[in-house]
Amino acid sequence: MSVFAMLFPLFRRRFGALALTLLLSAIALAAGTALLGTSGWFITATALTTLGLGFNLFVPSALVRAFSFIRILARYGERFVGHNATLRLLSDLRGWLFAALFPRLPLSDRSIRHGDLVSRLTADVDALDVAFLVAIGPMLGAVIIGTGMTAVLAWFLPEAAIIYALALGCAILLVPAALIVVSRRFGRAAISAAADTRVAIYDAIGGHADLTLLGILGTTHRRFAGGAQNLLDRRLTLAALTTAATAAVQILAAIALTGTLWQGLVAYTDGTIDAAVLVGLVLAVIGSFEATTVIVRSVSKAAAALAAAERLTNLANLPAAIVEPRQPISFPLDQPIAFSDVHFSYKGGAPVLRGVSLTIRPGERIAITGPSGGGKSTLLRLLLRLNEAQSGTLRLGKVPLERIASADLHAHVALLSQDSPVFIDTVRNNLRIAQPLADDAALWAALEAARLDTFVASLPEGLDTLIGEAGRTLSAGQMRRLSLARTLLSNAPVILLDEPTNALDRANELGFFETLAAATAGRTLIMVTHADIPEGTVDRVMEMRDGRLV
């Protein structure tokens, strides 16, 4: 999908407001040009009146007032409608991007890191706000006004009209186009340098403790300073290019002005033009160049906006991690889960699963043990369709897994992953993510099964205690147990637990295994663990080694 194809539907939805902005911008510009022209004509004619020539004062003074009011109102309206439409456009874009992003997670492009992703969703989207309002709008307005002004000049001073049209054409089309071409590379580099700086900040904050202990905070700081300097250099280059373009536009304005004055004086000497009209034309020429400075300023930002749009389209163009079925089949309840000769490797990596066959009866509890890196977590990921097997089949009864919509699958298969997050919110809301309508009794039962009930009961506000960065911070073991409680609270008939006890001491681990059967009664359980499992905790224990079940 191209940048245009990505943005067009969003622009189309706001077409009315954007067209109105454009109209108001053109009116403001026309009123400004007419105001200067009429004022020049009015002042000159009034001066000549004192020399004894007759002049009707009422029409021009009424026109000056009318044009200034129109200009003020049109400018205000343009800002109001334009900013409103742009903010809505950006909000549409963010919504669209989020919707496009989720089916692509986890991202197949491993070069896009978390900080970079955040940067794309925030700064890159913000960079696009200039794309319409400050670039396309004034440019179209200037074309309309430039055409009108050329027509007026052609009526009074045909030769001056040619000079004016050429100069204005260069100022609103050629200079901005050249600026875009030259600054595009720097705009791209500036956006990517800004993203790198953000990634460096996230990394430094996330790894602050380890970087300090390893004594390499200084190196990190120097690397960040280097990145910031790089960003500054790019921005300075862009600013220098913008200044050069502004100077070029000023020179073109001077050429248009000189041409009008020169041809005007020739015509005045010949007696074919009135002095007051000539002054009015000269000032109107100056006024009509008003839009050009805005265009240059915004076009320099448009280079960065284009680069940002490219980064967003690259993100949206990543292949979906899961292909949703066209005609999904509902998740079949009480059916065995069957892996049959499943082979899998991560993109470009060595084989992780090498012909895994396994059948789990509904309600059965199994544990998978084995050395680190053997492929245990990967097996769980395939069951959730977070990754797709390259060969072999995965079925629920007779239904192939890929025929079930992922939302339906995820509503029926709950996972406690090795890095389940705890959100900055209350204990209650952290738990209710799994079951929004769960009552307190269900929450306490889940906390008890995860051996966290005593701790939560000891908190001053119990279930309503705020946890995470902004509130009370939990230990790693407590966070793990909270995530475990959340998984156990889910109504899903299939529960996948990846190292559920890895932050528990042995006493709590044994306690957890004791309550596991009750907490998962009637549900299918697949537990990946390195722990010694007491007899009777599960129905079957299997070992996974080098991608094979032993």
Ligand X SMILES: Nc1ncnc2c1ncn2[C@@H]1O[C@H](COP(=O)(O)OP(=O)(O)OP(=O)(O)O)[C@@H](O)[C@H]1O
Which residues touch 433 (CB under 8 Å, ≥6 apart)?
423, 486
Q: Which parts of 431-450 interact with ligand X (CB under 6 A)?
A: none
Rank residues 184 and 548 by Cβ distance to ligand X and give the closer one. Answer: 548
CB of 466 to ligand X, least distance (A): 31
**Tokens read off for 530:** 């390195």
- Gap between the Cα atoms of 198 and 124, Å rounded: 12
Which residues touch 426 (CB under 8 Å, ≥6 apart)?
461, 463, 464, 465, 466, 467
- Gap between the Cα atoms of 292 and 510, Å rounded: 75
Query: Kind of pairing, strands 391-396 and 351-360?
Result: unpaired
CB of 358 to ligand X, least distance (A): 15
Q: Which parts of 328-367 interact with ligand X (CB under 6 A)?
A: 346, 349, 352
Quick one: how far is CA 382 from the chain centroid? 29
Rank residues 65 and 114 by Cβ distance to ligand X and give the closer one. Answer: 114
Amino acid at 388: E
CB of 473 to ligand X, least distance (A): 25
- Gap between the Cα atoms of 513 and 187, Å rounded: 57
Rank residues 137 and 370 by Cβ distance to ligand X and give the closer one. Answer: 370
- Gap between the Cα atoms of 11 and 18, Å rounded: 8
Rank residues 15 and 346 by Cβ distance to ligand X and give the closer one. Answer: 346
Q: What is the DSSP letter of 462?
A: G
Task: Please tell me the count of residues contacting ligand X according to CB under 6 A.
Answer: 10
- Gap between the Cα atoms of 550 and 545, Å rounded: 7
Q: Which parts of 362-421 interact with ligand X (CB under 6 A)?
A: 372-378
- Gap between the Cα atoms of 141 and 125, Å rounded: 25
Rank residues 352 and 450 by Cβ distance to ligand X and give the closer one. Answer: 352
Rank residues 44 and 377 by Cβ distance to ligand X and give the closer one. Answer: 377
- Residue that is written with structure tokens 């874009």 in the block: 93
CB of 350 to ligand X, least distance (A): 7
Rank residues 148 and 351 by Cβ distance to ligand X and give the closer one. Answer: 351
Rank residues 115 and 375 by Cβ distance to ligand X and give the closer one. Answer: 375
Rank residues 6 and 366 by Cβ distance to ligand X and give the closer one. Answer: 366
- Gap between the Cα atoms of 94 and 166, Å rounded: 41
CB of 378 to ligand X, least distance (A): 3
CB of 119 to ligand X, least distance (A): 22
Q: What is the DSSP letter of 372?
A: T
CB of 497 to ligand X, least distance (A): 12
Query: Kind of pairing, strands 540-545 and 548-549?
Result: antiparallel
**Tokens read off for 45:** 């004619």
CB of 376 to ligand X, least distance (A): 4
- Gap between the Cα atoms of 6 and 99, Å rounded: 13
CB of 103 to ligand X, least distance (A): 17
Rank residues 51 and 476 by Cβ distance to ligand X and give the closer one. Answer: 476
| Consecutive H or E run containing 548 | strand 548-549
CB of 529 to ligand X, least distance (A): 9
- Gap between the Cα atoms of 234 and 237, Å rounded: 5
**Tokens read off for 277:** 């009209």
- Gap between the Cα atoms of 285 and 277, Å rounded: 12
Q: Which parts of 251-290 interact with ligand X (CB under 6 A)?
A: none
- Residue numbers of the site for ligand X (CB under 6 A)? 346, 349, 352, 372-378
